[in-house]
A and B are shown apart, each in its own frame.
Chain A
Amino acid sequence: MTATEIAAAVRSGQRSARDVVEEHLAAIAARDRDLHAFLVVVADQAREAAAAIDAAVARGEDPGPLAGVPVAIKDTLCTRGVATTCGSRILDGWEPPYTATTVERILGAGGVVVGKTNCDEFAMGSSTENSAFGPTRNPLDPSRVPGGSSGGSAAAVAAAFAPLALGSDTGGSIRQPAALCGTVGVKPTYGRVSRYGLVAFASSLDQVGPFATTVADAALLLDVIAGHDPLDSTSIDDDHAPVSPQLAAGVAGLRIGLVEELTDVDGVQAPVRDAVAQAGAALEAAGATVERVSIPSAQYALSAYYLIAPAEASSNLARYDGVRYGLRVDADHAAAMNAETREAGFGPEVKRRIMLGTYALSAGYYDAYYRKAQQVRTLVIRDFARVYERCDALLAPTSPTVAFPLGAKTANPLEMYLSDVCTIPSSLAGHAAMSVPFGAGEGGLPIGVQVLAPALGEPVMFRVAAALEAAAG
Chain B
Amino acid sequence: MARLALSDEELDGFARELGVILEHAEDLAALDLDDVEPTAHPLPLVNVLRPDEVRPSLDRDEVLGQAPAVEDGRFRVPRILDAP
Check if B28 sits within 8 Å of A373, measured CB to CB: yes
0/1 per residue, B1-40, Cβ < 8 Å to A? 1111111001001100110111011011101010011111
Which residue, of B4, B20, B37, has the highest number of chain A Cβ atoms within 10 A?
B4
A98 to B38 CA separation, bound complex (whole angstroms): 35
CB < 8 Å neighbour of B42 from A96, A351, A355, A429: A429
The smallest C-beta distance from A133 to any residue of chain B, in angstroms, reads: 19
Interface residues of A in 375-399 (CB under 8 A from B): 375-379, 381
B39 to A: closest C-beta gap in Å: 4
Contact status A234-B79, CB under 8 Å: no
Q: Which secondary structure dominates where chain B touches chain A?
A: loop
A412 to B68, CA, bound (A): 35
Interface residues of A in 309-347 (CB under 8 A from B): 314, 318, 321-328, 330-340, 342-343, 346
Are A306's CB and B5's CB within 8 A? Answer: no
- What are the residues of chain A within 8 A of B28 when measuring CB–CB? 300, 303-304, 307, 369, 372-373, 376
Complex-state Cα separation, A378 to B38, whole angstroms: 6
With A371-B38, A373-B28, A375-B33 as given contacts, are A355 and B75 in contact (CB-CB < 8 Å)? no
How far is B48's CA from A351's CA once the two chains are assembled, in angstroms?
32
Q: Are B75 and A324 in contact (CB under 8 A)?
A: yes
Interface bracket on B: 35 or more
What's the Cα separation between A336 and B39 when bound, in Å?
Answer: 36
Cα separation A379 to B82 with both chains bound (whole Å):
48
CB of A9 within 8 Å of the partner chain: no
Q: Across the interface, name the chain B residue whose C-beta is closest to A237.
A: B48
Residue-wise, chain A 387-419 has the 8 Å CB interface mask toward B (1 for contact) of 000000000000000000000000011100100
| Binary B-proximity of A31-44 (CB < 8 A = 1, otherwise 0) | 00000000000000
Q: Are B37 and A378 in contact (CB under 8 A)?
A: yes
**A96 and B63 alpha carbons, distance in the complex (Å):** 8
A351 touching B39, Cβ below 8 Å? no
Tell me, rounded to whole Å, the shortest Cβ–Cβ distance linking B36 to chain A: 4
Residue from B2, B14, B41 with most neighbouring chain A CB atoms (10 Å):
B2
Q: Are A190 and B43 in contact (CB under 8 A)?
A: yes
Instruction: Provide the bound-state CA to CA distance between A295 and B22, in Å.
Output: 23
How many of chain A's residues have a CB under 8 angstroms from any CB in B?
Answer: 72
Task: Enumerate chain A residues within 8 angstroms of B29, measured Cβ to Cβ.
Answer: 368, 372
Cα A200 to Cα B13 in complex, Å, equals: 27
Q: Is the interface of A mostly helix, strand, loop or mixed?
A: helix
B29 CB, nearest partner CB in chain A, Å: 6
- Decide: A314 near B36, CB < 8 A? Known: A300-B28, A355-B18: no
B45 — nearest CB in chain A belongs to which residue?
A: A234
**A342 CA to B6 CA in the complex, in Å?**
9
Given A97-B63, A306-B25: A414 and B20 within 8 A (CB)? yes
B58: Cβ under 8 A from any A Cβ: yes
CA–CA, A98 and B58, complex, Å: 7
Supposing A335-B3, A358-B1 touch, asked if A204 and B27 sit within 8 A by C-beta, the answer is: no
- Within the complex, the shortest CB–CB distance from B57 to chain A, in Å, comes to 10
B3 touches A338 (CB 8 A): yes
Q: Within the complex, what minimum Cβ distance (angstroms) separates B56 from chain A?
A: 11
Say whether B14 contacts A325, CB under 8 Å. no
**Selected contact of B5 from candidates A230, A339, A373, A381, CB within 8 Å:** A339
With A and B bound together, what is the CA distance between A123 and B80 in angstroms? 32
Cross-chain contact B67 with A334 (CB below 8 angstroms)? no
A375 and B37 form a contact (CB under 8 A): yes
* Nearest 5 Cβ contacts at the A-B interface: A430-B42, A374-B38, A328-B68, A339-B5, A233-B48
30 contacts between A and B (CB under 8 A): A95-B66, A97-B58, A97-B59, A190-B42, A234-B43, A299-B27, A300-B28, A302-B24, A304-B28, A307-B25, A325-B66, A328-B68, A328-B69, A333-B79, A333-B82, A337-B78, A338-B3, A342-B5, A351-B10, A352-B14, A352-B17, A354-B2, A355-B4, A374-B38, A376-B28, A377-B38, A378-B39, A381-B39, A414-B17, A428-B42
